[in-house]
């Protein structure tokens, strides 16, 4: 009998959740079938591959992410036990421990990097509502232009065996620099490197793809006045927290006295010689009271837009919190600790694999209208990884909680504590 057909009593049968393929198969099938082979040929990786193909390597790293593998043996033994189910996934084969370790060390991580961007583009093409232009509750809707958030997250490593990533005297760390679209929480640029260089040295590379009229928001660690001047010349609007050491003089006051939680709104010029040479034009400084841990403190924001309401400037900076939520999901839900290798190339493989799995899971959530948390999505799919369930149908029918789509994070986290969503031109209420 067909799915959803009627029985003899005329009652509608409940659609079955069983599938011909495993949930892991369905997840990996979201990656375009031609892409890995094409990229491996472009990068020359296929010439050095014998029995362990680049596709098998990618599948192994995805499996390690989905199962929170504690080591190379964990990945290899588990895949070997499920070799028949694995083989139907475009001929993927389970690796030996030394084979997987060697591949992580010498195979160019550009393969998994380009596979990630290619897969993201493919998913956005087949589902235009996924990714670009997907507005979320909690994002300032009055801004029609794309809002980018830029930040970095430090990934702790083991100092005694990772000298290339030496960060401090007895510590080693890598750093993931990321630019995401606030409206859809999708990565638009990522850079993985050692943690020692200051964040502002990477600001230009992170912002290179931002178009005129778009908005970028970042923390004060990325403040470089020369770079901010270049963004202004390109027609890009920026909002950032001011450095504590910023020296400036007021050119014109836009607000007289305190209004709600907005303390000051001024047009300023930088007064330090080097700073003034780097950014000679006037820009805007907004000082607002923000509730942090139950206490009201002052925060100072600067921007090159002279027309927005002061509350809108604060609200835009609050939207930067979405990138913090992204890092939390990436580091706490996926596997970004207990790395499977010690070289820079192996670390890059694992970080890009985590980003790839994040996008695949987000697409599963989108396709099923998943109404629960990202953590619950991950644990559910991990539990049925080798079972023959229709993953999308299961996600649609799973759980008893009602309500709409939770957008994978709480909308209130889009705002700074103490701020509410304001209309254009309306000042913050006390």
For 229-245, the DSSP string reads HHHHHTT-EEEEEPPTT
Count CA atoms within 13 Å of residue 241 on its CB side.
18
Distances (CA, A) of 221 to 44, 171, 240: 38, 21, 9
C-alpha triplet 229, 230, 234: angle, nearest 5°:
115
Q: Give first-to-last CA distance, the chain, whole Å.
A: 64
Q: Give the rounded percent of residues in the chain with a pLDDT score beyond 70.
A: 82
Query: pLDDT (tens digit, 9 = 90+) per residue, 332-380?
Result: 888 777 788 778 898 899 999 999 999 999 999 999 988 888 999 999 9
Q: What residue segments make up the domains of the chain, in order of their start?
A: 23-113+341-397
Residues 57, 63, 69, 74: is their CA dihedral positive or negative?
negative
Instruction: Tell me the two tokens of residue 386.
Output: 């080798």
Span 256-280, average pLDDT: 90
Instruction: Tell me the two tokens of residue 310.
Output: 């002061």
The residue behind tokens 């472009």 is: 42
Query: pLDDT (tens digit, 9 = 90+) per residue, 190-240?
Result: 998 887 788 888 899 999 999 999 999 998 888 999 999 999 999 999 999
Length in residues, the chain? 430
CB atoms within 10 A of CB 305: 15
CB atoms within 10 A of CB 187: 21
Give residues with Cβ within 8 angstroms of 18, minimum separation 6.
388, 389, 390
């Amino acid at each position: 009998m067909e799915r959803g057909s009627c029985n003899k009593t005329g009652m509608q049968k409940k659609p079955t959740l069983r599938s011909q393929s495993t949930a892991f198969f369905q997840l990996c099938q979201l990656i375009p079938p031609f892409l890995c082979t094409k990229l491996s040929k472009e990068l020359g990786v296929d010439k050095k591959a014998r029995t362990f193909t680049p596709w098998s390597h990618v599948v192994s790293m995805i499996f390690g992410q989905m199962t929170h593998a504690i080591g190379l043996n964990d990945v290899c033994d588990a895949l070997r036990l499920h070799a028949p189910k694995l083989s139907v996934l475009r001929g993927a084969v389970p690796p030996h421990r030394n084979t997987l370790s060697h591949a992580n060390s010498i195979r160019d991580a550009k393969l998994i990097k380009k596979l990630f961007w290619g897969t993201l583009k493919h998913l956005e093409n087949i589902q235009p509502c996924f990714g670009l232009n997907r507005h979320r509750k909690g994002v300032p809707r009055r801004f029609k232009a794309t809002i980018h958030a830029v930040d970095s997250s430090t990934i702790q490593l083991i100092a005694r065996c990772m000298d290339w990533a030496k960060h401090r005297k007895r510590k080693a760390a890598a750093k993931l620099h990321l630019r995401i679209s606030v409206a859809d929480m999708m990565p638009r640029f990522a850079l993985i490197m050692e943690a020692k260089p200051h964040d502002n040295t990477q600001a230009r590379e992170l912002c290179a793809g931002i178009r005129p009229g778009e908005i970028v928001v970042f923390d004060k660690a990325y403040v470089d006045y020369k770079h901010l001047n270049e963004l202004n010349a390109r027609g890009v609007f920026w909002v950032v927290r001011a450095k504590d050491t910023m020296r400036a003089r007021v050119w014109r006051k836009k607000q007289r006295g305190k209004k709600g939680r907005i303390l000051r709104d001024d047009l300023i010029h930088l007064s330090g010689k080097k700073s003034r040479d780097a950014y000679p034009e006037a820009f805007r400084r907004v000082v607002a009271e923000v509730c942090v841990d139950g206490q009201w403190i002052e925060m100072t924001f600067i921007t090159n837009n002279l027309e927005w309401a002061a509350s809108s400037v604060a609200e835009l900076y609050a939207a930067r919190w979405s990138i913090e939520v992204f890092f939390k999901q990436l580091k706490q839900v996926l596997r970004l600790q207990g790395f499977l290798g010690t070289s820079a190339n192996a670390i890059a493989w694992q970080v890009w694999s985590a980003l790839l799995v994040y996008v695949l899971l987000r697409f599963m959530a989108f396709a099923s209208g998943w109404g629960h948390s990202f953590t619950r999505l991950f644990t559910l799919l991990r539990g049925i990884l080798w079972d023959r369930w229709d993953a999308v149908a299961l996600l649609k029918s799973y759980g008893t909680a009602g309500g709409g789509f939770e957008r994978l994070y709480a909308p209130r986290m889009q705002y700074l504590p103490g701020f509410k969503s304001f209309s254009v031109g309306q000042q913050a209420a006390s």
